[in-house]
Structure 1
Amino acid sequence: MKELQDFTKIYQKELNYHIKDDSYDRSKTSLLTNHMLLTTEVAEVAELLRELFVITEKKISDGMEEEEAFKLAQEHISQDLGKEISDCLAYLCKLSNFFNRNMEEDFYNKMEEVRVRMTK
């Protein structure tokens, strides 16, 4: 994850996609813009999941077995889903980099927090 975060930092700076940090106003605008862009990408993931179920239901209504219909629908959206998840990850890396967070460390800490909460 650290390599991914480092790559993203360089890549986004190179393309001028990084969150601007030269003033409060630019940071505020950049953070809000990136928040909107991230939520747009999350919505695109949701749209693909909706498409998954629409395709599955259509194939079932056409007489296909449920499991086969679902598998074919998964295959249909898989590549686009990977692209949208990658877009989400890029924005999450960008936010983490802006706040000097280590995503891998934060992830494992959060998973442990959930584990502790669920085992109480």
Structure 2
Amino acid sequence: MKEIQAFAKQYQQEMGWNINADNYEKSRASLLNNYMLLTTEVAEVAEELRKAFNKTNECIRNGIDEETSFRLAKESIKEDLGKEFADCLAYIVKISNFFEIDLDKSFYSKMEEVKNRKNKDISVKTNK
């Protein structure tokens, strides 16, 4: 993740896409704009999932079994879904870099916190 953060920082500078740090009001406006763009990209992830579900249902209606239908649908959105995840990651990294957050450290720390939660989701199925 450190490499991605360093790449993104340089890339955003080259493209002139840095979050404005001139003063509070400009930073606030720039952060809100980037947050809005991030949420737009998250919605585009949802749209790709919707496409996969619709494609699965269409295939099932055409007589293809459910597992094959879903596999075909996943393949049909894989490339575009990857692009949408990349867009989301770019905005997350951009905002993280602005706040000088080490995403590696934050990610692993959060996963450890989740693992040790008392009130975590459980599944009826067990993985053996």
TM-score (norm 1): 0.97
- Gapped runs of 5+ residues in structure 2? 121-128
Where 2:117 maps in the other structure, the secondary structure is helix
Correspondence for 1:30: 30
Structure-2 change in CA distance of 1:66 and 1:6 (3 Å): same
Where 1:21 maps in the other structure, the secondary structure is coil
Correspondence for 1:110: 110
* 1:39-80: CA deviation from partner (whole Å, max 9, x where unpaired): 000000000001100000000001001111101100100000
Structure 1 residue ranges (4+ consecutive) displaced by more than 6 angstroms after TM superposition: none
Correspondence for 1:88: 88
- Structure with greater proportional helix content: 1
Cα distance in 2 between the residues matched to 1:28 and 1:61: 49
Structure-2 change in CA distance of 1:119 and 1:36 (3 Å): closer
Correspondence for 2:44: 44
Identity %: 55
Deviation at 1:22, TM superposition (A): 1.0
Correspondence for 1:6: 6
Correspondence for 1:73: 73
TM-score (norm 2): 0.91
Where 2:101 maps in the other structure, the secondary structure is coil
Deviation at 1:16, TM superposition (A): 1.0
Correspondence for 2:98: 98
RMSD between superposed Cα atoms in Å: 1.2
Cα distance in 2 between the residues matched to 1:119 and 1:19: 37
Deviation at 1:118, TM superposition (A): 4.6
The amino acid of 1:50's aligned partner reads R
Where 1:117 maps in the other structure, the secondary structure is coil
- Kindly indicate whether structure 1 or structure 2 has the higher relative contact order, using CA contacts under 8 Å at least 6 residues apart: 1
Cα distance in 1 between the residues matched to 2:14 and 2:26: 18
